[in-house]
Structures are given as C-alpha cells and as structure tokens.
Structure 1
Amino acid sequence: MTAHAYIQYDDVPEALLETALRHRDTVTGARLIAFDNSPFSGEISETSEGLTQIEFAWPHSVELRHALGDWLTYYGIDFTVVM
C-alpha cells in the first residue's frame, strides 16, 4: 500500500522556506522542494480549493517514517497521512 503525507505550504515556517531548494523535474514537470534537514523532498501542488500543498511519500520503513514525522513535528508543521 502506498501512503503520502500532506502539509499546507502556508504552515511551513518562513525560515525553512527561505533556505529551501526548489527544482522542476524535467521529465514530469513536477515542482519539487527540499528543506534543510528534511529526510525527503516533497512535491508542490495546488488543491481543488486553490490551496498550495506539499506531498511527501510516506515511507514503508518505520525508521524513515519516524524521521519524516519527527522532522515535521520538530518544526510544528501539521500533516495528514493518506493511505
């Protein structure tokens, strides 16, 4: 089963946004973002309601899941995991 974690772009602290690396994938056109100390990069997209969100793959590995969840929690970023 594949799961994804979603965060709202507006919930990301300004300090993280200022130092984030952004890249557009040349094959898929996806807008990617990588934050300092985050174990994974995410994909920026728009919801049907017009909100900007960031989607992360939710790892199968417990250790990697905890690393991502701990990073989000450390920075006070609310997230939702959808399976």
Structure 2
Amino acid sequence: MSAYTYIEMSSVPRPLLQMAVRRLEGSQSWISIPGCPFAGIEEEGQIQFPYPRNRELRKQLLAWLDHWNISYGVEQ
C-alpha cells in the first residue's frame, strides 16, 4: 500500500511557488518546488507527494516541509 503526503498550495511560501517548475503529463499537472526532494502532483489547491518508505528519503521530505513551516497530512 502506498502513502501520500498532502500539502495545501496556500501553505507554500509565495517565493517558492514563483520559482516552481510545472509541466503537464497527460491529465496530471506536475510541480517541482526548489529544494523539495520530490516532484508532486498539483490538483484542486493541493500538492500530493509520495510518502517514502525509505527512512532517509522520508527524513529529507519532512525536513524540507519543516524548514519552510509547511503543514502537511499523510494518507494511505
């Protein structure tokens, strides 16, 4: 079973969103935010990232979220 991290677009600092790279791939809108170790899928005011099973990758993602004080939720 896969888990995902969700963040609200409104919680991402504006300067980061202005530097983000977006691309459409089929029907999905991908977003890469500077410094974030993963690209996410943007939809309906949220960004969905994979929640890594690997402890080191998970620590990198959570450290980035904590650094920018971004609230997040995790769902399976």
Q: Pick the TM interval, shorter chain.
A: over 0.9
Aligned to 1:8: 8
Map 1:3-82; keep pairs closer than 5 Å.
Answer: 3-25=3-25, 28-46=26-44, 52-82=45-75
Distance 1:12 1:38 in 2: 11
Unaligned 5+ runs, structure 2 = none
The percentage of aligned residue pairs carrying the same residue is: 36
TM-score normalized with structure 1 length? 0.88
Q: How well do the aligned residues superpose, as a CA RMSD in angstroms?
A: 0.7
2: distance between equivalents of 1:23 and 1:7?
Answer: 19
After TM superposition, what 4+ stretches of structure 1 lie above 6 angstroms from structure 2? none
Q: Find the aligned partners of 2:59 and 2:74 in 1 and give their Cα distance.
A: 13
Alignment coverage as a number of residue pairs? 76
The one-character-per-residue Cα deviations of 1:20-64 (angstroms, maximum 9, x if unpaired) are 000001xx3200100111100000111xxxxx1000011110000
Q: Which amino acid aligns with 2:72?
A: F
The amino acid across from 1:36 in the alignment is P
